[in-house]
Amino acid sequence: MPTGVPSDPPAVDNTGFVGCHGKLSLGGPGGLQLVDENGEAVRLMGMSSHGLQWFPNCYSKESIQYLVEHWGITLFRAATYVGMGSKAKDIVQWCKELGIYVIIDYHVLNPGNPNDRAYSGAESFWRDMATQFKGEKHVLYEIANEPNGVTWPTIKAYHNRIIAAIRAIDTETIIICGTPTWSQEVDKPAADPVAQPHNVMYTFHFYAGSHVALIPNLVKYSSQIPIFVTEWGTSYATGDGGPFLPASKEFLDTLARAGSLGVSLSFAQWSFADKSEVSAALASGSCSSKQWDDTTCSGTYLKNYIKANVATCGNKPPTTSAPAAPTTAPATAAPVVTGTPVRTNAPLPTNAPVPPSTPVPTNAP
């Protein structure tokens, strides 16, 4: 384990965390901080599913309950590809019963244009979700996972359309908007935000083997727009290689107190799955055998970091381990990708068209 992350911290039970904090909104310095019903800063820590359709044995109330009661997660993200809304609703209910927050992630990836006809049902999907969950305190909406191959004005047009559809039904729930180049270019919405910014946040995604050079951008723009790290991994952006734990630690410490305003940023890690790749938290075969603590190197690191740093009811997370915001990559960090970052760690649906510039991943289950 990197310095500052204990090798075997005690279990943490965060059952009922939502009951201590209630409905989340934006507040704090510059209106950039996720806050609870009392206006207190909240930093959520948790896991993202992989595609719900590819690893169905991994996603049950039992598995999420184990994460809540032993790892201490306060957030679970349901990566919802087209057609998987019913499974996402099950996860929303389980998270309600366990008392943790949940992100419904509309998993735009391939095609990368959220306006593509493959996502023609997006407005209907979000009207349905907003109608069913507008009264729930534990739900957050992520309306486009990783737009890519298109410009911010094109992405923004989609966001404005979907936000308007949601706000006609649900005026308050946090909405998280994907950003260009696989949700890495947070500078674009900082310069040109969406039309209805109330309780709207923007996505930043990070893979420790590929994106260390992006940390200064994250620091800079976290003092300008509300940011939520809805996906990050310890590997290369392909999902394999590494794990790059020192770079991961640098990134997580940056999230604890980011930018000149000291905003704390929430995260979900990719992925809680037993896929045979470095970024997966569970060893191959763990889900079928229901061994929820049979973790890979990446998964062991994540559960130990969360247990050592997550907030619990009545207790704020420790802040002494967070260093000053870095401006350059450390000498021990993973090699930095200096060209256009590529996000390929999620498998492609076999019928999805692929933008010419995007390599087709070979690691689909």
Q: Catalytic positions, please?
A: 146, 231
7: exposed, middle or buried (Cβ count in 10 Å: 0-12, 13-18, 19+)? exposed
Identify the three-state secondary structure at position 203.
Answer: strand
Backbone angles phi and psi of 290, in degrees to 5? 60, 40
- CB distance 22 to 135 below 8 Å: no
Instruction: Compute CA distances 262 → 63, 140, 223, whole Å.
Output: 34, 23, 8
41: exposed, middle or buried (Cβ count in 10 Å: 0-12, 13-18, 19+)? middle
301: tokens are 């690191």
Identify the three-state secondary structure at position 185.
Answer: coil
What residue type is assigned to position 167 of the chain?
R
- CB distance 307 to 301 below 8 Å: no
Distance of alpha carbon 60 from alpha carbon 192, whole angstroms: 40
Instruction: Please state at what angle helix 152-167 crosses helix 122-133, rounded to 10 degrees.
Output: 40
Backbone angles phi and psi of 303, in degrees to 5? -65, -35
